[in-house]
């Protein structure tokens, strides 16, 4: 995949649709594979990460296909009936996919080996394996809990009560998915509530899932195991994490007025919207409705003055994937933006905290940082730009700096655009349709 460069433009205009929500897409494929009957999924993200999950479900016995009308059809096998795959499952760069699949197979009496690309093979998996071992699951992994990992599913799983030590929807979801094929009740306690797509979709397929308040803002989630899941159609909303890039691009590029249609607005995912409004963004949500059990709406943004703020640390779980592009937005705001509670950024596709610090500094922005925090001194206007950013196979780092290049004083380039296809195929073309100038350059 070539290097790309974003050249500054005077304004972005138009109405667009961004790809389907990646988190919802992964879960839709997995749970429909465990349902009895045939599920139709519209709006599925067709990025490389989700396609890897589709192939994984095929390898475990589900019939997964794409119809001529663009709708995906999954004929499920039922809870407890996953087949042992005949070969190693390559998940590419799909961190969410592999962690959730480890939970899905953990209580099935099968053996699966997962591998991934260079980026995924650096990402820690012990945080998932630890609670899954309590079901009776066994693992073999490289030193440090790294891929490739072989999962030996529990032949006689037992239900667990797991208290989350870090706010991670991936770990919580892996435990709940494992609890599907365990008898009795599996309980997850979160001190900080994280995105609840798994709980919503389990209920959508007929599982008994009860969420109750827990002291200090947390929740207790109780899943009754070994349900009969029933096939039911799903419409995947547009991904707020993908919408974040044209949203910020429109806010920082003078003369812009952009609407992103049918964006998922799950309150446990929409922290970016609240944060941008705190910064003074001209952002409105129109045509709010519910689709497939998830709230959605059309987001309209216009360019305008922004101010630096202190982002509350308790907001981090609801916008952890959006901090890279938020830090770009902060570079254009007047005053300092302080972001805390960012430890999770260090174990994403790359060390995103370090990547943003390095890239922003190269573009002429003053940044201070620590183990789990970052301060960006906004310029109240366009930073210098002019840098080429090494993105280290990280799609969100790549797109964040292309957004910066749309409004910087000088073009900004990224060294490799390959990773963008994992979550946002057609990103450059969509942005160029709004008036951006993102073009290929010699690496």
Long-range contacts (CB closer than 8 Å, 24 or more residues apart) made by 52-57? 52/90, 52/91, 52/92, 52/94, 52/97, 53/25, 53/26, 53/29, 53/91, 53/94, 53/97, 53/101, 54/29, 55/89, 56/85, 56/89, 56/91, 56/97, 56/101, 57/29, 57/30, 57/33
Of 305, 59, 341, 292, whose CA–CA distance to 194 is shortest? 341
Structure confidence at residue 442 (pLDDT): 78
Predicted confidence at residue 443, as pLDDT, reads 60
Q: Is the dihedral of CA 163, 313, 391, 242 positive or negative?
A: positive
CA 88 to the chain's CA centroid: 24
Confidence at residue 1, expressed as pLDDT on a 0 to 100 scale: 54
Please state at what angle helix 95-106 crosses helix 169-179, rounded to 10 degrees.
30
Instruction: Please answer whether residues 293 and 47 qualify as being in contact, where contact means their C-beta atoms are separated by less than 8 angstroms.
Output: no
**Backbone dihedral region for residue 61 (phi beyond 0: left; psi -120 to 50: alpha; all else: beta):** left
CA–CA dist 131, 76 (Å, integer): 27
**418 Cβ neighbours under 8 A, 6+ residues apart:** 1, 393
- Global pTM? 0.89
Give, rounded to a whole angstrom, the gap between the first and last alpha carbons of the chain: 10
- Rounded CA gap, 42 and 45, in Å? 9
- Which residue out of 90, 196, 321, 416 is catalytically annotated? 321
> DSSP labels for 265-285?
--TTT-HHHHHHHHTT-EEEE
**Exposed e or buried b per residue across 266-298, where buried means at least 16 C-beta atoms within 10 angstroms of its C-beta:** bebbbbbbbbbebbbbbbeeeeeeeebbbbbbb
Residue ranges of alpha helices (H) inside 115-215 are 126-133, 169-179, 197-204
Q: What domains sit in the chain, N to C, each tagged with a CATH number? A: 3-20+237-441 (3.65.10.10), 22-235 (3.65.10.10)
Q: Which residues pair with 379 in a beta bridge?
A: 334
Please, what are the averages of pLDDT over each run of 10 residues along the chain (443 residues)? 91 97 96 98 95 98 96 98 98 96 98 95 94 98 96 97 92 98 97 92 96 91 98 95 98 98 94 98 95 87 98 92 97 98 83 95 97 96 97 94 98 95 94 98 76
Respond yes or no: is residue 69 known to be catalytic. no
For residue 302, the model assigns a pLDDT of: 98
Check if the beta carbon of residue 28 is closer than 8 Å to that of residue 236: yes
pLDDT for position 292: 65
Cβ contact 271:322 at 8 Å: yes
Task: Return the SS3 of 366.
Answer: strand
């Amino acid at each position: 995949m070539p290097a790309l460069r974003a050249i500054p433009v005077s304004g972005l205009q138009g109405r667009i649709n961004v790809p389907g929500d990646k988190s919802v897409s992964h879960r839709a494929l997995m749970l429909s594979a465990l349902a009895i009957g045939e599920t139709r999924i519209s709006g599925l993200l067709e990025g490389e990460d989700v396609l890897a999950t589709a192939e994984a479900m095929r390898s475990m016995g589900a019939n997964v296909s794409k119809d001529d009308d663009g709708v995906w059809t999954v004929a499920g096998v039922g809870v407890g009936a996953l087949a042992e795959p005949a070969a190693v499952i390559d998940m590419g760069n799909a961190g969410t996919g592999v962690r959730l699949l480890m939970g899905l197979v953990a209580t099935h009496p099968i053996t699966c080996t997962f591998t991934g690309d260079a980026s995924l093979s650096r990402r820690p998996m012990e945080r998932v394996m630890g609670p899954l071992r309590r079901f009776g699951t066994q693992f073999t992994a490289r030193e440090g809990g790294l891929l490739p990992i072989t999962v030996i599913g529990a032949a006689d799983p037992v239900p667990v009560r797991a208290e989350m030590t870090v706010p991670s929807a991936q770990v919580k979801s892996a435990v709940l998915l494992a609890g599907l094929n365990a008898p009795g009740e599996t309980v997850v306690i979160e001190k900080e509530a994280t995105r609840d797509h798994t709980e919503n979709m389990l209920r959508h397929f007929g599982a008994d899932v009860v969420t109750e308040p827990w002291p200090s803002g947390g929740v207790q989630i109780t899943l009754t195991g070994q349900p009969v899941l029933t096939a039911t159609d799903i419409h995947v909303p547009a991904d707020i994490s993908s919408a974040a890039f044209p949203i910020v691009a429109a806010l920082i590029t003078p003369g812009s007025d952009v609407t992103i249609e049918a964006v998922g607005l799950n309150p446990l995912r929409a922290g970016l919207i609240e944060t941008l409004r705190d910064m003074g963004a001209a952002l409105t949500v129109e045509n709010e409705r519910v689709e497939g059990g998830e709230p959605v709406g059309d987001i309209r943004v216009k360019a305008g003055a922004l101010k630096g703020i202190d982002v509350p640390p308790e907001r981090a779980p609801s916008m952890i994937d959006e901090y890279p592009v938020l830090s770009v937005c902060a570079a254009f705001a007047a005053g300092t933006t302080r972001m805390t509670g960012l430890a999770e950024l260090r174990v994403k596709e790359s060390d995103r905290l370090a990547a943003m610090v390095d890239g922003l500094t190269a573009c002429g922005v003053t940044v201070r940082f620590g183990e789990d925090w970052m301060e960006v001194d906004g310029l109240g206007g366009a930073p210098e730009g002019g840098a080429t950013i090494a993105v280290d196979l990280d799609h969100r780092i790549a797109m964040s700096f292309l957004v910066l290049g749309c409004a910087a004083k000088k073009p900004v380039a990224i060294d490799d655009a390959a990773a963008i296809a994992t979550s946002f195929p057609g990103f450059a073309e969509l942005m160029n349709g709004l008036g951006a100038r993102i073009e290929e350059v010699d690496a």
